Structure 1
Amino acid sequence: MDRTSHLTNAHPAPRTDATARPSRLRRFMGLLAAAAMAAAVWTIAVPVLGVELDVAEVPGGPVGARTAGLAAVVGSSLLSGALGWIVLAVLERWTARGPRLWRGIAVTIAVLSLASPLTMTGDVGAAITLSLLHLVVAAVVVGAFTGVTGHPEPAVRPAESR
């Protein structure tokens, strides 16, 4: 064993609250990034590729009753992300596993939300575009809000180990 071996980080310290939880600024920027990504998908699909995002008012209703415009896409991205943030904040106050629990809830809701593009559009291009919008917003929001970095969460938080 050499003299510097004790300085290496063979076993990294568990992440503390300061490093485990993304800041409010990061979450806010993630919310804006999700809306920007949704706007980018809409811009490529609608004006560039010519996809018509005509949707029904209700599942099974007449398609074309409404058109999903850029304002609606950005607004619903911001609204769904803000609601998700509120739920995450509540879960973080109630349980130490709030982010992990929220991530599972968010992914489940994202998967279930894919039913609406499939049942409320009459066009394959519109269904694919709307599904892609749902997935892009969910991926950006979940990553930004829970700090998905590829590092697993610690088994025990430092405050709990004392």
Structure 2
Amino acid sequence: MTRNRLAVAALTTVAALIWWTVLTQAFDVDLTAEQGGTIHIGAVSVLIASLAMSLGGWALLAILERNTTAARKAWTITALICCTLSLGSPLTSGIGTGAKLGLASLHLLVGTVVILGLRRTTASPRRP
């Protein structure tokens, strides 16, 4: 199970970096946001954020598995809510339509890979 979850974290990070490269190089999108000043979203930021989100999701899932019999359902609902709420940041802070859509697509990509990937690593719900 640990190997599978580590693979999800690695896949999430690699997928996010590839999509960031496509957005910035192929589509020439300037990924900038206004957060107390103008910041440019670079590869290092994408790497750190995507890795942190996948490891955070893993940690929450592990906690839920130890403390509830419905870990998969609770984790999936929580992860979907978090992913949806995370869209507020790029959609309000992105500078320009391209940056807003590009950053939102990065959030959705990371959320999708983490949710589908980690969800598959959970044990089936326990039956009485």
TM-score when scaled to structure 2?
0.92
1:112 to 85, 89, 92: 85
Is 2:48 the counterpart of 1:92?
A: no
Deviations 1:77-122 (A, max 9, x none): 0011111111111111000111210110001010011010111112
Is 2:7 the counterpart of 1:34?
A: no
Q: Across the two proteins, how many residue pairs are aligned to each other?
A: 126
CA distance, structure 1, for counterparts of residue 106 and residue 3 of structure 2: 23
CA distance, structure 1, for counterparts of residue 15 and residue 100 of structure 2: 18
Shift of 1:35: 0.7
CA distance, structure 2, for counterparts of residue 28 and residue 142 of structure 1: 14
1:74 aligned partner: 47
- Percent identity between matched residues is 30
Shift of 1:144: 1.3
After TM superposition, list the pairs within 5 Å mapping 1:44-63 onto structure 2: 44-58=22-36, 62=37
1:15 aligned partner: none
CA distance, structure 2, for counterparts of residue 84 and residue 54 of structure 1: 26
> Which of the two has higher C-alpha Rg?
1
Identify, as 1 or 2, the structure richer in helix. Answer: 2
Task: For residue 55 of structure 1, give the secondary structure of its aligned residue in structure 2.
Answer: strand
Task: For residue 122 of structure 1, give the secondary structure of its aligned residue in structure 2.
Answer: coil
Gapped regions of structure 2 (runs ≥ 5): none
Task: For residue 106 of structure 1, give the secondary structure of its aligned residue in structure 2.
Answer: helix
2:3 aligned partner: 25
